[in-house]
Each structure stands twice: as structure tokens, then as C-alpha cells.
């Protein structure tokens, strides 16, 4: 295999959830394989933001809630996310495969982060309805492992341009190969382990910035029954 592109996420940056931490582990592993003796494959990673219209995207969820007459449920009024379209996501993978020498993390310039509550408000308005009159927006509160905002790079990663003006490279920090092997071997022994603490302890050896107890900077207490949002 000449090229291997690993699909990662912006949640791998300073992760606060198992999903983000496991994606960061995958980034570290695939990048460490790049250039190893006897391995001709070029390993690269792409970090995705939220892909509009994809499986699990917030947009189809909001559409279903609007069709039902609401309420539209938003986690927190200050929560923001980076968004990209399906064509942009596809082109990012192809661009990563076509450029670089291996070991890079590619990321699309997704512009400014979008407030989720603004997205909900716009979708309700575009459906021909009014917030607070036809459909309410309610807040459910931040769940464990969720962040109010996502980050694009972590300590030790430098930004470099590519031939494509909207695609950047985040150069990763070097991680000891022996440590990677030991951590992956330990994680394999914990495959059927129900002790979450043990799994987290092993992952943090490879991803020290993983903070499973990362508290939200703005509390979501008392937001569950908000009826409408003023813009």
C-alpha cells in the first residue's frame, strides 16, 4: 500500500472524551509507522470538523425536531463547533493522499466556529417559523466529555502551509516508538475490561493532554427549561 490516510477529528486536540483520546492514539500510531524500516507506506491523518449532513450531524437532528414541531434541543447557548461540507471533507482526504511525504496531520481551514444555537435559530427561521412562537429552543446541558468549543492544534504542533490555500499541515511531536508499543499492548489486554479508570490511565501515558474530567468553562445548570432564545 502506497498511501494510508487515517480519518481523525478535531476532538483529538486536548481530548476530553474517550472518542477524542482514541483518535489521538490512532494519529500517534499511524504517524509513528511512517518511515519505519521495511514499511514503504506513507501514513497521514486528516482532522475533520463536524461534517454537515453526515451521519450523526446535528443538522438532520434539528430537521427532525422542527418537523415534529419542536422543541429544538441545543446543549448549551455558548457551544460552538467547526463545520465542513461533505465535498470539502472528501477533497481533504484526496488532497492529503496527493501531497506530503507522510507523517503529517492535514486540516481544512473551516473559518470561524459556529454557535450551535445560531444554527438552530437559522434553521427554524428558514423553515418559515419563529423561535419562541412556533418552536422553542431548549438547552439540555453539557454532557461528560463534551467541550464548549473545539481546538485545532495542541502543544508541540507547528502549522505549515500546503500547495492548497485552505489546507494546512499540523506537524506532530515525536513520540517514542517503544512507549507506543507498550501502551497498545496494555490496551489490548484491557479489551474486555470494565474498569474505565484503568483504560484511561493507560491512554494518558500516550496522550498526557487527555483530561477526562475537563469541566466546562460555563456551567449548564438551570438551562433545561429555557423556552426561547433572543438573538
Q: Where are the domains of the chain?
A: 3-206
Distance CA 117, CA 137 (A): 8
Tens of pLDDT, residue by residue over 173-228, are 778 999 999 999 999 999 998 999 999 999 999 999 898 864 444 444 444 434 44
Res. 145: pLDDT tops 70:
yes
Res. 117: pLDDT tops 70:
yes
CATH of 3-206, one of 3.40.50.300, 3.40.50.720, 3.20.20.100, 3.40.50.150: 3.40.50.720
Tens of pLDDT, residue by residue over 43-93, are 989 888 888 877 778 888 999 999 999 999 999 999 999 888 888 888 888
Distance CA 122, CA 130 (A): 10
The per-residue pLDDT for 154 is 58
Long-range contacts of 185-188 (CB under 8 A, 24+ apart): 187/25
Active site residues: 11
Amino acid at each position: 500500500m502506497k498511501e494510508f490516510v487515517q480519518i481523525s477529528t478535531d476532538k483529538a486536540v486536548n481530548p476530553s472524551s474517550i472518542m477524542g483520546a482514541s483518535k489521538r492514539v490512532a494519529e500517534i500510531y499511524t504517524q509513528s509507522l511512517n518511515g519505519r524500516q521495511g514499511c514503504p507506506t506513507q501514513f497521514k491523518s486528516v482532522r475533520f470538523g463536524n461534517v454537515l449532513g453526515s451521519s450523526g450531524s446535528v443538522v438532520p437532528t434539528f430537521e427532525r425536531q422542527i418537523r415534529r414541531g419542536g422543541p429544538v434541543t441545543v446543549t448549551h447557548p455558548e457551544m460552538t463547533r467547526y463545520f465542513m461540507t461533505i465535498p470539502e471533507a472528501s477533497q481533504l482526504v484526496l488532497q492529503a493522499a496527493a501531497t506530503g511525504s507522510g507523517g503529517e496531520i492535514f486540516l481544512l481551514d473551516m473559518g470561524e466556529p459556529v454557535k450551535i444555537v445560531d444554527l438552530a435559530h437559522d434553521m427554524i427561521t428558514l423553515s418559515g417559523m419563529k423561535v419562541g412562537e412556533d418552536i422553542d429552543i431548549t438547552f439540555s446541558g453539557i454532557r461528560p466529555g463534551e467541550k464548549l468549543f473545539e481546538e485545532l492544534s495542541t502543544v508541540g504542533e507547528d502549522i505549515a502551509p500546503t500547495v492548497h490555500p485552505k489546507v494546512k499541515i499540523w506537524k506532530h511531536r515525536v513520540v517514542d516508538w517503544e512507549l507506543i508499543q507498550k501502551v497498545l499492548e496494555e490496551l489490548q489486554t484491557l479489551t474486555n475490561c470494565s474498569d474505565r479508570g484503568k483504560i484511561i490511565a493507560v491512554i494518558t501515558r500516550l496522550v498526557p493532554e487527555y483530561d477526562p474530567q475537563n469541566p466546562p468553562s460555563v456551567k449548564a445548570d438551570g438551562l433545561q427549561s429555557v423556552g426561547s432564545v433572543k438573538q
